[in-house]
Amino acid sequence: MNSVNLKGGLVFMAIVLFVLPLSFAQTKKLKRPSGRVGISSVDQFVRESFDLYDKVYMYDGYAEAGKPLTEADIYILENAVQDLNLLSASAPDVLGDIEGAGILKQGKATLQMNRAKKALAYSLKTAKKLLTEGKRETGEGDSDDPASDEEEDTAAGSGSDNESSDSGSIEEAENVSDNLEIYSKFDYVPGDKLLYFDDFSQDFIGDFPSKWNTNGSGEVVRLNKAEGNWFTLLSGYNIYYIPLLNEPLPEEYTIEFDLLTNGLDSKTSSSSILILILDDNDGFKKGSNFAEVRLPFCQYHPIGIRVTNYLSRAYVINNVVSADIREEVLNRPHISIAVNKRRFRLWVNQKKYVDIPQFIAPGAVLKNLKIGTLYVKDGKEQVFIQNLKIAEGGVDLRRKLMSEGQISTNGILFDSGSAKIKPQSYGIIRQISQVLMQDESIRLTIEGHTDADGTEETNMILSKDRADSVRQALIDIYKISGDRLETDGKGESEPVADNNTSDGKSQNRRVVFRKI
């Protein structure tokens, strides 16, 4: 009897020990493949699939156990869904790599891919379910939109891209702020040697822009109350838009452009992103060295900015920088990037979000900038860019002013036909103020120059007004004494480039600082 009771007790304990973990793991965990196939893309796909699976699996059973998700849990799952969608989209390319392998290797690769896809399917389903329930509890929303069948058509200009260009549904956002004091610490300095500029002003509406290449499609459009021509980017996996540069990107350069969105709302996918890639491959596939940044469009939760680099065919950095840019992406932000050899920095409007000292591969020649979007819903959500500018330099202008006695920059920008300084220009003005603060004996002449659009008389007045605006910014924001600053306007009289091209016009619109 005692032996029977003992046996029964052991059985009971075994059942308890087996069942207890299931309160937090209701599904039997899939086993990660132990060996490698020998096909790099397959091995990477399987490894990343199970890494994400492990990340999601730890939450399996939370709902059953009544355990709520914390804010950190939601953040982890949001990023997992984004990565799972991106990885799933790469499966067809990986399967294509299997076809050229031997029979035995093909069989092993197929088995491991099937297990990886099973892990991905589980992870996506579980993560989305957890996020849906978590948002209901916190009152953030009803659905993580990648799997949602019900979509609110709240876009002001819903419809095809052609319809958006005709209807002019997007309204121009107001300036980020009229309180220019917030720019007093903005430290972005654009390059001073223009390599590329495109405002799409010389392209016909409805055409693909002439200074770009793509493996997808897109068109130049006009938008009501949004000045000028805009380039609309269509979403798709491995679809990239590449500006046609005359030479590879140098060691030190800057990139900046204006971004405009339409139709983003609380149902915008957590995987909806703008992709920016610096790559050593001049084609549409990623090369052996690249640096990638993903800016999120998601509105119902701050997703963060993902940064990834691939150095000599190996991932080194793959991380998410905490950032809440939901409001910014709705209000026509200006994106600025500075690359100084290995260092990479990124600003959204006046705020710096990324500063990684060794993001670029040592010695790598990154030939191209590639831009793309993912999970932007056709007919509902739209993404446009304008005023893409790439310039060599972006280094300290203070030493040049001190040593050479003058600097010329086209990095101080103004509203079209106006003397109103654009916010992204204050990095340069800040450096000028630092020179004046360091040596109080220095006095400067600020000289304005314009392109040849408009009449000579109008441009002469405009150039002087712009120089006066820079002077006033130095006085008002940086507290420089006005008697140390003189201004002059040269209008269109001293061009440095051809006024018949957008590149040339951009170079001619400049401000010169000279020691007196």
DSSP-assigned beta bridge partners for residue 344? 339, 356
CATH of the domain at 508: 3.30.1330.60
Q: Within this chain, do residues 325 and 248 fall inside the same structural domain, yes or no?
A: yes
**Residue 3 within any structural domain of the chain:** no
Q: Within this chain, do residues 405 and 375 fall inside the same structural domain, yes or no?
A: no
**Residue 14 within any structural domain of the chain:** no
pLDDT tens-place string over residues 208-229 = 999 999 999 999 999 987 889 9
**Residue 69 within any structural domain of the chain:** yes
What pLDDT, on a 0 to 100 scale, did the predictor assign at position 468?
95
Nearest alpha carbon to residue 199 among 211, 184, 187, 214 = 211
What pLDDT, on a 0 to 100 scale, did the predictor assign at position 337?
95
What pLDDT, on a 0 to 100 scale, did the predictor assign at position 182?
56
Report the domain count for the chain: 3
CATH of the domain at 277: 2.60.120.200
Q: Within this chain, do residues 196 and 264 fall inside the same structural domain, yes or no?
A: yes
**Residue 465 within any structural domain of the chain:** yes
Write out the H or E segment, with its range, that includes residue 128: helix 103-138
**Residue 139 within any structural domain of the chain:** yes
Nearest alpha carbon to residue 234 among 346, 79, 333, 380 = 380
Domain limit, last residue, from 114, 144, 174: 144
**Residue 300 within any structural domain of the chain:** yes
* b/e burial code for range 291-329 (CB count within 10 A of at least 16 → b): bbbbbbbbbbbbbbbbbbbbbeeeeeeeebeebebbebb
DSSP category for residue 314: S
Cβ contacts of 439 within 8 Å, gap of 6 or more:
402
**What pTM value is reported for the model?**
0.62
Domain limit, last residue, from 336, 362, 393: 393
What pLDDT, on a 0 to 100 scale, did the predictor assign at position 395?
62
What pLDDT, on a 0 to 100 scale, did the predictor assign at position 232?
95
Domain limit, last residue, from 376, 393, 410: 393
Q: Within this chain, do residues 331 and 401 fall inside the same structural domain, yes or no?
A: no
Q: Within this chain, do residues 62 and 184 fall inside the same structural domain, yes or no?
A: no
What pLDDT, on a 0 to 100 scale, did the predictor assign at position 361?
83
What pLDDT, on a 0 to 100 scale, did the predictor assign at position 208?
97
Q: Within this chain, do residues 487 and 347 fall inside the same structural domain, yes or no?
A: no
For the chain, the farthest-separated pair of C-alpha atoms sits apart, in whole angstroms, at 112
Q: Within this chain, do residues 337 and 212 fall inside the same structural domain, yes or no?
A: yes
pLDDT tens-place string over residues 360-391 = 988 777 889 999 998 899 889 999 999 999 98
Q: Within this chain, do residues 93 and 224 fall inside the same structural domain, yes or no?
A: no
**Residue 79 within any structural domain of the chain:** yes
CA–CA gap between residue 114 and residue 251 (Å, rounded): 43
Angle at which helix 71-89 crosses helix 91-98, to 10 degrees, equals: 40
What pLDDT, on a 0 to 100 scale, did the predictor assign at position 101?
76
What pLDDT, on a 0 to 100 scale, did the predictor assign at position 469?
93
**Residue 305 within any structural domain of the chain:** yes
Q: Within this chain, do residues 452 and 371 fall inside the same structural domain, yes or no?
A: no
With a cut of 50, which residues of the chain have pLDDT below it?
1, 3-25, 138-179
Q: Within this chain, do residues 178 and 278 fall inside the same structural domain, yes or no?
A: yes
Q: Within this chain, do residues 217 and 325 fall inside the same structural domain, yes or no?
A: yes
pLDDT tens-place string over residues 305-338 = 999 998 877 788 888 898 999 999 999 999 999 9
What pLDDT, on a 0 to 100 scale, did the predictor assign at position 41?
83
CB 315 within 8 A of CB 300: no
Which residues constitute the domain of residue 194?
161-393
CA–CA gap between residue 374 and residue 241 (Å, rounded): 13
Q: Within this chain, do residues 296 and 317 fall inside the same structural domain, yes or no?
A: yes
